[in-house]
Structure 1
Amino acid sequence: MILHCMKKSTWEEVKNKNIWGKELIEKEGFIHCSTIEYFWRVAPNFKGIKDEMVLLCIDEENLISKVCYEDGDNCGRFYPHIYGVINNSSVIKVLPFLRSNDGKFIKNIELAHIEDK
């Protein structure tokens, strides 16, 4: 399972579509995702976003698009990038993006059994 973070309002717009993400691909070339183990490293990128956010839990084996694990920053960690649209049938769970009072990410209890790396 991989994670994709997005504004809840955006999720509300796409959740009933069969596929989505074309705009993200046109902008970035792929759709950014993270493993659960590395998400705590990615989460600070969303600190400045005041909107309510969600974490899409995606079963990559059910994706219709190719997933490549890449180390774009040469940091020694490989993150999943989706090279194509996301089919909503691959989204197996939607979790709230939890934050502390000071805006820091709080790991969801559903993901707590997976150790951070």
Structure 2
Amino acid sequence: MIYHIATRDDWAAAQATGSYRAASLDSEGFIHCSSKRQTLPVAQQFYRGQGDLLLLCIEESQLTAPLAWEAPAHPNPEISEFTGSDSEFPHIYGALNLDAVLAVKCLREGRDGFVLA
């Protein structure tokens, strides 16, 4: 299982069109994902102050687009890697087919960081 943080609006648009395309797919060529262990640190570093976030729980074996585990790719090209991480992250090289998303959970920011609601 891999995970992707999405906005509620982006997920609603995906349901209307039949596939999910993160902005990074156009700008970087892939959709950023994370392992279970990586998800909350990623949320802390990149999603603070954003509301209405969802966690897409994705079954890797059901993806129709290629998946690669690669070195961290920071969305800001001036920063070469994810701070504090030496592990690889899953990247989906194409649109995310909705049937690969097995669960959608609310991701909320609290006083002490992000939690699944």
How many residue pairs get matched?
A: 106
Would the alpha carbon gap of residues 41 and 22 (structure 1) be closer, same or farther in structure 2, given more than 3 Å must change? closer
Distance 2:112 2:12 in 1: 23
* 1:75-90 equivalent positions in 2, closer than 5 A: 75-90=85-100
Instruction: Tell me, yes or no, if the aligned pair for 1:47 and 1:103 is still in contact at 8 Å.
Output: no
Residue 56 of structure 1: CA displacement? 0.4
- Match of residue 71 from structure 1: 71
Q: CA-to-partner distance for each residue in 1:29-73, whole Å, 9 max, x for gaps?
A: 110000111112201110121x21100001011000111111132
In structure 1, the gaps of 5 or more residues are: 110-117
Identity, % of aligned positions: 28
Matched residue of 2:3: which SS?
strand
- Match of residue 112 from structure 1: none
Distance 2:112 2:30 in 1: 27
* 1:86-101 equivalent positions in 2, closer than 5 A: 86-100=96-110
- Match of residue 62 from structure 1: 62
Q: Over aligned residues, Cα RMSD in angstroms? A: 1.9
- Match of residue 41 from structure 2: 41
Distance 1:34 1:61 in 2: 15
TM-score (norm 1): 0.80
In structure 2, the gaps of 5 or more residues are: 73-80
